[in-house]
Amino acid sequence: MSSSDAHKLVGTTPARVTVNHLAQEAKALGTTQLADFLERTGRDISDLYRGSSTWTAILRRAELIPAPTTPTPGESDLLKRVHCFLHADDTERAEAYKRLVQNDARPYASLGERDQTFARMLFFTLWDKAGGFPSYDEGLDSLRGQHAVRSELRQLLTYVMQARAGRTATPLAGPHAHIPMSIHHAYNRSEILAAMGVARLGGQMPGFFAEGVLWDAANKTDALLITLNKSERDFSPSVRYKDYALSPTHFHWESQNSTASTSPTGQRYQQHAKQGSHVLLFMRDNKDTPTGKAQPWILLGPATYERHTGSKPMAITWRLHHPLRDEMWTSPQHNA
């Protein structure tokens, strides 16, 4: 098929794209490279990850790469997790993940402290309930036989990093400098818990964590995971808290209904600066993305208590140390 025919095919694809449509486009273009496919079709990368679709599945359907005669154990489940890396847009994280899925990836035990944290973030994003592995080394080593998964991950991370190049990363500093996260970048639940050291083998599994608040005793930090738009389907009336930006530097947040202003937790929120503890805010618009996948949170960064009203719940005003970007503040859903 000629190039012009290929572009006609792309142009006539229905709005609700399917794996078959994408496979036809890939076959027409004759490309196995994710970035090349997206550039030539003008598609958004999220089109490739609707439902159970993956780049590998598209290429196999297009007969551009062979399907294995014997299914690789665990491959199907891992490919379903690749979409969880679509938001990994800061260079340090993407490069660390790419190193961990190379053929010559170093064992977990030989990595430096920061790279070990990235390794745990990758591990728990792939296996949010540990996958039955007794050690990080065993889990990460199992990827060596997952050639399709590693290839797709490397291509996706390279594309996402390049597509969103130019954004300056502002790493966490001060008491959180050892946590490899950057202000106004996106992180999923597994990454947040692993980065803070809360998720660990033999302890808390991200797959079992469903709270919007977390007290991290080791880091003396309250992490508040905020979903702005709480649908009736996903949130009961008792937890549909009123959370929104008051200004680029101030955020209104409601505590859990059980938190009284006189309780130990309520007092910690109010006295955190005096007591030497900290607060980190994470924010997302909705529970899910338009493709039905879990939406990651944007790290707003550290915040300081200014005032509150009420009790059970407490309506707290936090002062953000890093002002919201213009598009975050001007977006209507970020205002009450």
Which residue type occupies 273?
A
Q: Which residue has the tokens 């496979």?
A: 23
The residue extents of the domains of the chain are 3-163, 211-334
CB 58 within 8 A of CB 159: no
Q: CA angle at residue 270 from 304 to 259, to 5 degrees? A: 120
pLDDT in tens, 291-335: 889 999 999 999 999 999 999 999 999 999 999 998 887 654 444
Q: What is residue 71's predicted lDDT score, i.e. its pLDDT?
A: 84
- 139 has pLDDT over 80: yes
- Between the alpha carbon of residue 229 and those of residues 127, 236, 239, 266, the distances in Å are 28, 13, 12, 24
pLDDT in tens, 234-256: 444 545 468 999 999 999 999 99
Q: Which residue has the tokens 């997790």?
A: 81
Q: Which two tokens stand for residue 39?
A: 């550039």
Which one, of 127, 307, 106, lies nearest residue 201 by Cα? 127
* Residues above pLDDT 70, as percent of the chain: 90
Q: Which residue has the tokens 């859990």?
A: 256
Which 3 state secondary structure label does DSSP give 12? Answer: coil
CB 300 within 8 A of CB 183: yes
CB 280 within 8 A of CB 302: yes
pLDDT in tens, 42-92: 999 999 999 889 999 999 999 999 988 888 999 999 999 999 999 998 899
Residue 86 CB neighbours (<10 A): 21
Q: Does domain 211-334 have CATH number 2.30.280?
A: yes
The answer to whether the peptide bond before residue 171 is cis (omega within 30 degrees of 0) is no
Q: What is the DSSP string of 205-226?
A: -GGG---SEEEETTTTEEEEEE
Which residue type occupies 153?
L
Q: What is the pTM of this model?
A: 0.90
Q: Which two tokens stand for residue 200?
A: 């660990």
Range with lowest mean pLDDT among 29-38, 252-261, 280-289, 323-332: 323-332
Q: Which residue has the tokens 């818990």?
A: 193
CB 139 within 8 A of CB 125: no
Provide the pLDDT confidence category of residue 17 given band limits of 50, 70 and 90. confident
Half-sphere CA count of 84, side-chain side, radius 13 A: 22
Q: What is residue 295's predicted lDDT score, i.e. its pLDDT?
A: 95
